[in-house]
Structure 1
Amino acid sequence: MCIDTYIAIHADCNKRNMENNRIQKFEMTSFGLKRLAITTMLIDHLAFAVLPALLNGGFIRLFGSIEVYNILHYCMRTIGRIAFPIFAFQIVEGIRNTKNIKKYLGNLLIFGIISEIPFDLAFFGVPFFWNYQNVFFTLALGMVAVLPMHFENNIFVKLAALIFAIAVSHFIKCDYGIYGVLTVVLLYLLKNNRIALTILGSLFTMIYQFSLTVIISFIAIYFYRGKRGKGNKWFYYCFYPGHLMLIYLLIKLIKI
């Protein structure tokens, strides 16, 4: 009887170890999430800016028909919906783990300024387009909304920061706008409950973006276990203005 019990316990332990090993294989690191985000963002931006340039430049033969173009455009834009929730989650993790909050917020604002001309050139064809601002400003405002929630106990300070961030995002018309700020806030509030974050985060973003692919964002976030992984943070900061400038140059090349 004792031998049977020992064998059963040993088998159960082996089964649990195998399950844990399988889960570990699917773990996402911080840099893994960033790679997923910038890849899907790039696909989205190519669909938004480059595909129409190809179509308008008379390259319809590349697609075969307008129907194929429409399907490709839709699929690429849909894939792009994966990116923003991951960027928003990275802000939450940054607030929790960074040693210098002011420097972190400053980096977001600096790269927002650096990225604005490439952003306007790539998407609007002019160096200064005041009616729409890039996503770095959205993420910075999301951070402004969340910081008092992290450091302050005064409910009025928390509400004031939230209202301020929402108002500014609406006034300057930054990418994703009020939804973007609220996404950062929601992910912060749910940061300690991965299941709730996955379910409620998916529902919230699906309502705004009308896309099921956002679920992929939250599945990836679910498997994040706080590990940084291998990578250079400055690459991900620089990738944003860099890829926008390359998109602009590619569009100019297509129009030659």
Structure 2
Amino acid sequence: MPNRRFFTANQLKAIALFCMLLDHMWATIVPGREWMTCVGRIAFPIFAFELAQGYTHTHDLRAYAKRLLLLAVVSEVPFDMVAGGTYFYPWHQNVAWTLLAGLWACHCADRCRTAPTLPEKLPPLLGLLAALLLPGLLLTDYGTAGVVIILLFRLTRGGGWRSCLAQAVGLFVVSQYMLIGQVYPVGPFEVQQECFALLALPLIWLYNGQHGRKNKALQHAAYAFYPAHLLVLGMLFMAK
């Protein structure tokens, strides 16, 4: 039977970046087009999946964390321009902080699982608790829910229908009950707009396990896209 999975990690990342761009354009320069933010819900689950994959395959966790930390610091002012229309907006922090917390959560969860005794499990367990709580307390984008989504992809990485089912159920629960936003009536129920995130799963399930073209310039460009597009949109938004 031919392998029907054809998306590389690079292609998934490109899709996520495009969906994120639409969402941020809706939030700044083209308000009123609600379909753009609905499509934008696809971005974070792909980023969470790729981070869980990156954690699994990285040879240097410290370097990975440093890249995310640098991204978070560089992106904060552009994000504040988009989120608050100002250069300093302490009520909402950019999503790179959430990704960094998710990376730490994956590390702590693994250490907790492999520690042989209860006293040795305690430090990573406390680290995992901090990774879950701090994003919510610091008001990072997606907050605690984002870290939970990252852990979901880390814990369901085995593949197969059971993993797919767990991802679908887990992502629905997080989107419906942990994230608050626009709701849509569906019969007697109200469904959160965040549930459009489930549209990311078919794309993720088509991941073929390949990174795609390895190129430092492409890697740096993917990282730079986040603060760069926020800066452009932020300037346009503040100039209105």
CA distances 1:116-138 after superposition (whole Å, capped 9, x unpaired): 00000122111111111100000
Determine which of 33, 44, 55 is the counterpart of 2:23.
44
AA matched with 1:245:
L
Q: Which has the higher helix share?
A: 1
How far residue 160 of structure 1 moved from its aligned partner, in angstroms, is 1.6
Structure 1 match to 2:138: 172
Structure 2 match to 1:237: 223
CA RMSD in angstroms, aligned pairs only: 1.8
Distance, in Å, in 2 between the alignment partners of 1:171 and 1:149 is 20
AA matched with 1:137:
W
How far residue 149 of structure 1 moved from its aligned partner, in angstroms, is 2.7
Structure 1 match to 2:81: 121
Distance, in Å, in 2 between the alignment partners of 1:119 and 1:139 is 15
Distance, in Å, in 1 between the alignment partners of 2:195 and 2:95 is 21
Identify unmatched segments of 5+ residues in structure 2. 116-120, 176-191
AA matched with 1:175:
D
Look up the SS of the partner of 2:68 in the other structure.
Answer: helix
Structure 2 matches for 1:1-256, cutoff 5 A?
16=1, 20=2, 23=4, 26-52=5-31, 69=32, 72-73=33-34, 75-152=35-112, 153-154=114-115, 155-209=121-175, 210=192, 211-230=194-213, 232-253=218-239, 255=240
Cα pair distance change 1:117/1:180, threshold 3 Å: same
Look up the SS of the partner of 1:213 in the other structure.
Answer: helix
Identify unmatched segments of 5+ residues in structure 1. 1-15, 53-68
AA matched with 1:46:
M
Cα pair distance change 1:126/1:147, threshold 3 Å: same
How far residue 193 of structure 1 moved from its aligned partner, in angstroms, is 2.6
How far residue 251 of structure 1 moved from its aligned partner, in angstroms, is 2.0
Distance, in Å, in 2 between the alignment partners of 1:121 and 1:239 is 16
AA matched with 1:182:
V
Cα pair distance change 1:166/1:151, threshold 3 Å: closer
Query: Is the Cα contact below 8 Å between 1:194 and 1:222 reproduced in 2?
Result: no
Distance, in Å, in 1 between the alignment partners of 2:151 and 2:236 is 36
How far residue 208 of structure 1 moved from its aligned partner, in angstroms, is 3.6
How far residue 246 of structure 1 moved from its aligned partner, in angstroms, is 0.9
Q: TM-score, normalised by structure 2?
A: 0.83
How far residue 213 of structure 1 moved from its aligned partner, in angstroms, is 3.1
AA matched with 1:107:
R
How far residue 220 of structure 1 moved from its aligned partner, in angstroms, is 1.3
Structure 2 match to 1:4: none
Distance, in Å, in 2 between the alignment partners of 1:133 and 1:163 is 20
Computing the radius of gyration from Cα coordinates, the structure with the larger value is 1
How far residue 214 of structure 1 moved from its aligned partner, in angstroms, is 2.2
Report sequence identity in percent.
29
